[in-house]
């Protein structure tokens, strides 16, 4: 089984993060499962909707390529899930997103869930996600950490002092969610999730801290196995109705992707 994992940052610029991500995926992988991690250049570091759209478009093109290259599933390892629905409607292999999958899995761990995002700019985005996924009664709030940059999280993948800065901000941002009754806390992003995963079994105020990276990995593997048993990869009625071949070719031409790829 081969799964392509789409990151929204650049492996050349953020090697410590990709090293930790690769390690976690190797530990998560079942027998015979391999992950190929791909990034985006330039990376999603501007923290704006325009960057999300740009990277989401590239992710959809990469998903189409993944299916053509024989991958069994496409994992969108970016909590904002930019391009998730478009990718799911474009290909016939399982497509799962970090945000949607982590929040749905969190519902099996506790009744009330809180999100801690990396920057206040993403609070409205995550609220939109919560509404889109129908989780308004389960995800009770979104708070934000201080304005740490991508480089700060990457440094915290290996440096203890940098890790402490991330943890302290996460703990502080968790307090309003804990006061509201959150039982599960989700670091809303691959960057903080991987940094905090350096402390396995982490809890804050008695609430479980859920690392979505292995959650997404194992759900992607399960989706492939279920598809082999005849379970649909998506409903093709409604928003995930399949794109026509002409629609896909026009999209790939717009993105500059070589439509002759296998």
pLDDT in tens, the chain (262 residues): 999 999 988 888 777 788 888 988 998 999 999 999 998 888 777 778 888 888 889 999 999 999 999 999 999 999 999 999 999 999 999 999 999 999 999 999 999 999 999 889 899 999 999 999 999 999 999 999 987 777 788 888 888 899 999 999 999 999 999 999 999 999 998 889 988 988 888 999 999 999 999 999 999 999 999 999 999 999 888 888 888 889 888 888 888 865 443 3
The confidence score (pLDDT) of residue 183 equals 98
Identify which of 246, 220, 245 has the alpha carbon closest to the alpha carbon of residue 233.
Answer: 220
pLDDT computed for residue 261 by the predictor: 39
Domain segments of the chain: what residues? 2-218
pLDDT at 203: 94
2-218: in CATH 3.90.1150.10: no
Measured CA to CA, the distance from residue 59 to residue 79 in angstroms comes to 13
Q: How much is the pTM?
A: 0.90
3-state secondary structure the chain: CEEEEECCCCCCCCHHHHHHHHHHHHHHCCCCCEEEEECCCCCCCCCCHHHHHHHHHHHHHHHHHHHHCCCCEEEECCCCCCCHHHHHHHCCCCEEEHHHHHHHHHCCCCCCEEEEECCHHHHHHHHHHHHHCCCCCCEEEEEECCCCCHHHHHHHCCCHHHHHHHHHHHHHHHHHHHHCCCCEEEEECHHHHHHHCCCCCCEECCEEECCHHHHHHHHHHHHHHHHHCCCCCCCCCCCCCCCCHHHHHHHHHHHCCCCCCC
Given a contact cutoff of 8 angstroms between Cβ atoms, the answer to whether 140 and 107 are in contact is: no
Per-residue pLDDT, 258: 57
Cα angle 89, 91, 94; round to 5 = 90
- Please give the structure tokens belonging to residue 192: 């903080």
pLDDT of residue 241: 85
């Amino acid at each position: 089984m081969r799964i392509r994992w789409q990151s929204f940052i650049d492996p050349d610029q953020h090697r410590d993060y990709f090293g930790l991500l690769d390690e976690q995926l190797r530990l998560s992988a079942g027998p015979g499962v391999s992950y190929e991690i791909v990034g985006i250049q330039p990376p999603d570091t501007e923290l704006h909707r325009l960057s999300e759209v740009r990277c989401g478009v590239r992710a959809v093109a990469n998903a189409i390529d993944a299916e053509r290259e024989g991958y069994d599933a496409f994992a969108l390892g970016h909590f904002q899930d930019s391009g998730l629905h478009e990718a799911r409607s474009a290909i016939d292999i399982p497509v799962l997103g970090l945000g949607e999958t982590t929040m749905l899995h969190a519902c099996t761990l506790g009744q009330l869930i809180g999100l801690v995002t990396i920057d206040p700019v993403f609070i409205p985005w995550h609220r939109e996600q919560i509404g889109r996924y129908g989780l308004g009664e389960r995800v009770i709030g979104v708070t934000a950490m201080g304005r740490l940059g991508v480089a700060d999280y990457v440094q915290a993948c290996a440096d203890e002092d940098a890790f402490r800065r991330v943890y302290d901000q996460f703990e502080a941002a968790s307090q309003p969610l804990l006061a509201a009754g959150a039982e599960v806390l989700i670091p809303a992003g691959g960057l903080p999730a991987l940094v905090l995963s350096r402390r396995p079994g982490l809890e804050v105020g008695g609430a479980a801290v859920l690392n979505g990276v292995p959650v997404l990995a194992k759900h992607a593997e399960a989706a492939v196995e279920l598809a082999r048993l005849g379970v649909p990869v998506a409903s093709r009625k409604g928003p995930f109705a399949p794109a026509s071949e002409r629609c896909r070719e026009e999209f790939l031409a717009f993105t500059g992707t070589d439509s002759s790829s296998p």
